């Protein structure tokens, strides 16, 4: 009896595993070995002995004298400390790193600070045995690792591995322990969702090894930057940063995308809190928040948009965690921050922007539309927070100011003939950022105006994605993530899915210069990989993972209407898909939405925590406008869609619900 009982227990444990675990790119252990040989040069033998598949063979790599090299491919972007064992008594081994195949070289690493590349790591071998990178020589992101013999005798290496350092606060064997999942009939979307989740893990790091940019300009004799990681950029044991290789800093704009992504994948909100604490620790006496966390916070760069992004970020943590003590603790600073922002509003009703630092874009002065739509959004959050804090004076004032921003933006900056807002009164340039935020913020309420913006943005797509003319020739996955939300909010679901497939899957995963695992920070409209002023770009950037939360929120349809999902809406968008299974957990419990359709029948299974309440916005199958519903608590009622194209089930109590909709 006993053996079969333990077998049974094992089977139950396995069934309870994280769903769709096979898609998770995070490693199952922190010890990682290369999966392929990418390049060899000079006299090299038995290079396959160091591959993950060859490690038990007992073989060893031999690199011939001076400059023979081999480049290993880990098959995905990783982070950590390089380790190797040598059987040689002496010599010098150089190690270089690169995220992209574009910068593979035996002379230098891809650059963390601008045009100049980074120096190789050099190990002086003084005897056979194990060598490990010093703590400060952690490399934040690389897919390719090159070993080069810099000595005059041949070198033998019998083991090579990387100790993976991302997600430092999670147990070594729990890196795949996701709380969320996404699966559909479209493999491109599935891969994009999981690459977004893994990107967020890659940018979650030990804050004592932050800042790959602002520390030194020292170079080695070949003119390559010396590098190390030893700036403490936040308190705590983990923090959510912008990029894994660079900058390794707290940037609020980046966090505006990454926090909702974290919430639906790993629910690692503590790393986000540590990053926001770092920014709020440096608030000035007049209420202004710094452009970035430490050490950016010591400079005098002022950014209106990053200021409001920090306010939005704290609200995001509150929304997903439902932690009242968090917002109580932040409220005084939050309110002072909101007051600093509204003090920029002039007699037109719009804010006149003089704190003009932003993401890559230029021309942020005056009545800028991006800044003002962000202000409108933040004011709307502020009204809700002020009510939460029983501050009706602030709620009423902010509500009036929001209405003023809304009407002035439409009066002064809307271009009806173009179907897009202009950047400010002195230009016709229609930016991607301000137009996407005009919809996302709720500033534009007219459905035909929303559709016009979505259509006009789509009309500008090129072969590599959605352009941002406000930043010259850039494609910004950051702003394009907001553009996706614009198309979803316009109910132009297939347009949003097409942009994810073309831009995030076909280009950002599958192009051979990419890592096929994490998302790049930006690139040119020509598909060239430069993002001024950085020729070697960060290939693991949290702000580029917009599709991950969008697929869960709009396609799975799961939306939290109050903290941690005490109230919720499940409103699946079908587009051209036939099957979706999405879910995640908050402190209140699990939320999931699983649906399938064949154009005649639409089936939905949802699960929400007991004690919560919500509404379900059912799409009818195909183009049907009336249907029969059967399922939990329903006995074949006939329904018709309302003007929004859905049938709504109001006041649905938490728990499990199954509904079958048959088109009539």
Ligand X SMILES: *[C@@H]1O[C@H](CO)[C@@H](O)[C@H](O)[C@H]1NC(C)=O
Site residues (vs ligand X, CB under 6 A): 85, 122, 124, 130, 136, 158-159, 171, 173-174, 177, 179, 191, 216-217, 228, 230, 232-235, 278, 281, 294, 346, 352, 354, 363-367, 423-424, 426-427, 429, 447, 450, 470, 490-491, 516, 571, 598-601, 617, 622-623, 644-646
Strands (E), 54-170: 61-63, 69-86, 91-98, 121-125, 129-132, 139-149, 155-164
Torsion of CA 213, 518, 314, 301, to 10 degrees: 30
Residue 18 or residue 392: which is nearer to ligand X going by CB? 18
Residue 257 or residue 620: which is nearer to ligand X going by CB? 620
- Tell me how far, at minimum, the Cβ of 660 lies from ligand X, in Å: 9
State phi, psi for 342 to the nearest 5 degrees. Answer: -70, -20
Q: Are 559 and 570 in contact (CB under 8 A)?
A: yes
- Tell me how far, at minimum, the Cβ of 363 lies from ligand X, in Å: 3
Within 8 A by CB and 6+ apart from 638, the residues are 626, 627, 628, 629, 664
Strands (E), 363-481: 414-415, 420-421, 467-468, 474-475
- Tell me how far, at minimum, the Cβ of 450 lies from ligand X, in Å: 4
- Tell me how far, at minimum, the Cβ of 386 lies from ligand X, in Å: 26
Q: Are 420 and 451 in contact (CB under 8 A)?
A: no
Residue 395 or residue 435: which is nearer to ligand X going by CB? 435
- Tell me how far, at minimum, the Cβ of 390 lies from ligand X, in Å: 27
196/184 Cα distance (integer angstroms): 16
Of 54, 46, 57, 81, the closest CA to residue 156 belongs to 46
Residue 43 or residue 232: which is nearer to ligand X going by CB? 232
Torsion over CA: 628, 631, 636, 637 (sign): negative
From the number of C-beta atoms within 10 Å of its C-beta (0-12, 13-18, 19+), residue 584 rates as: buried
- Tell me how far, at minimum, the Cβ of 159 lies from ligand X, in Å: 4
- Tell me how far, at minimum, the Cβ of 508 lies from ligand X, in Å: 12
Residue 229 or residue 466: which is nearer to ligand X going by CB? 229
- Tell me how far, at minimum, the Cβ of 59 lies from ligand X, in Å: 10
State phi, psi for 365 to the nearest 5 degrees. Answer: -85, 170
Residue 4 or residue 217: which is nearer to ligand X going by CB? 217
Residue 4 or residue 428: which is nearer to ligand X going by CB? 428
DSSP letter for each residue of 367-394:
S-HHHHHHHHHHHHHHHHHHHHTT-HHH
> Which residues pair with residue 69 across a beta bridge?
41, 148
- Tell me how far, at minimum, the Cβ of 190 lies from ligand X, in Å: 9
3 state DSSP class of 62: strand
Residue 32 or residue 394: which is nearer to ligand X going by CB? 32
Residue 29 or residue 174: which is nearer to ligand X going by CB? 174
Of 347, 348, 346, 353, the closest CA to residue 369 belongs to 353
């Amino acid at each position: 009896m006993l053996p079969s009982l333990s077998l049974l227990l094992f089977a139950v444990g396995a069934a309870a595993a994280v769903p769709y675990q096979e898609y998770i790119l995070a490693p199952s252990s922190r010890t990682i070995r290369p999966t392929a040989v990418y390049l060899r040069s000079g006299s090299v033998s038995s290079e396959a002995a160091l591959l993950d598949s060859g490690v038990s063979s007992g073989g060893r790599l031999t690199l011939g004298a001076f400059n023979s090299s081999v480049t290993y491919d880990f098959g995905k972007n990783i982070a950590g400390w390089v380790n190797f064992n040598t059987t040689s008594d002496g010599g010098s081994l150089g190690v270089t790193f690169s995220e992209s195949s574009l910068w593979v070289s035996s002379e230098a690493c891809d650059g963390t600070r601008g045009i100049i590349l980074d120096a190789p790591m050099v190990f002086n071998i003084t005897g056979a045995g194990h060598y490990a990178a010093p703590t400060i020589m952690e490399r934040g992101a690389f897919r390719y690792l090159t070993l080069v013999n810099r000595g005059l005798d041949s070198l033998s290496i019998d083991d090579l591995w990387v100790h993976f350092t991302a997600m430092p606060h999670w147990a070594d064997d729990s890196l795949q322990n996701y709380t969320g999942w996404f699966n559909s009939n479209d493999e491109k979307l599935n891969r994009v969702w999981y690459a977004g989740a893994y990107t967020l893990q890659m940018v979650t790091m030990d804050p004592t090894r932050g800042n790959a940019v602002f520390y030194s300009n020292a170079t080695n004799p070949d003119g390559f930057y010396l590098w190390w990681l030893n700036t403490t950029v936040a308190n705590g044991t983990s923090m959510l940063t912008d990029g894994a290789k660079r900058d390794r800093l707290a940037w609020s704009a980046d966090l505006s995308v990454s926090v909702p992504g974290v919430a639906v994948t790993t629910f690692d909100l503590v790393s986000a809190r540590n990053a926001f604490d770092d920014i709020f620790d440096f608030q000035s006496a007049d209420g202004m928040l710094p452009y970035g966390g430490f050490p950016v916070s010591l400079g005098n760069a002022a950014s209106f948009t990053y200021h409001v992004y920090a306010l939005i970020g704290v609200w995001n943590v509150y929304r997903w965690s439902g932690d009242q003590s968090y917002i109580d603790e932040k409220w005084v600073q939050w309110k002072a921050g909101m007051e600093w922002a509204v003090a920029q509003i002039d007699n037109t009703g719009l804010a006149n922007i003089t704190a003009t630092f932003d993401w890559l874009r230029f021309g942020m002065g005056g009545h800028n539309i991006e800044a003002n739509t962000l202000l409108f959004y933040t004011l709307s959050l502020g009204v809700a927070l002020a009510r939460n804090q029983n501050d009706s004076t602030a709620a009423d004032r902010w509500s009036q100011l929001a209405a003023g921003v809304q009407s002035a933006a439409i009066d002064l900056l809307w271009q009806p003939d173009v179907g897009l807002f202009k950047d400010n009164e002195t230009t016709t340039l229609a930016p991607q950022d301000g137009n996407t935020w005009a919809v996302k913020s709720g500033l534009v309420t007219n459905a035909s105006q929303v559709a016009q913006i979505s259509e006009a943005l789509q009309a500008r797509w090129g072969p590599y994605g959605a352009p941002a003319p406000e930043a010259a020739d850039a494609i910004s996955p950051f702003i394009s993530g907001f553009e996706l939300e614009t198309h979803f909010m316009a109910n132009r679901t297939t347009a949003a899915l097409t942009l994810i497939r073309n831009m995030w899957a076909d280009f950002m995963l599958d192009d051979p210069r990419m890592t096929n695992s994490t998302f790049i920070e930006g690139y040119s409209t020509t598909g060239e990989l430069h993002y001024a002023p950085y020729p070697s770009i960060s290939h693991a950037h949290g702000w580029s993972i917009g599709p991950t939360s969008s697929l869960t929120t709009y396609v799975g349809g799961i939306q939290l209407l109050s903290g941690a999902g005490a109230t919720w809406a499940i409103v699946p968008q079908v587009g051209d898909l036939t099957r979706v299974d999405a879910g995640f957990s908050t402190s209140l419990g699990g939320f999931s939405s699983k649906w399938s359709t064949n154009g005649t029948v639409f089936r939905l299974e949802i699960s929400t925590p007991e004690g919560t309440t919500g509404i379900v916005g059912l799409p009818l199958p195909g183009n049907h406008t009336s249907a029969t519903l059967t399922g939990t608590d329903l006995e074949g009622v006939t329904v018709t869609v309302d003007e929004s194209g859905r049938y709504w089930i109001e006041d649905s109590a938490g728990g499990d619900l199954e509904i079958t909709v048959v088109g009539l």
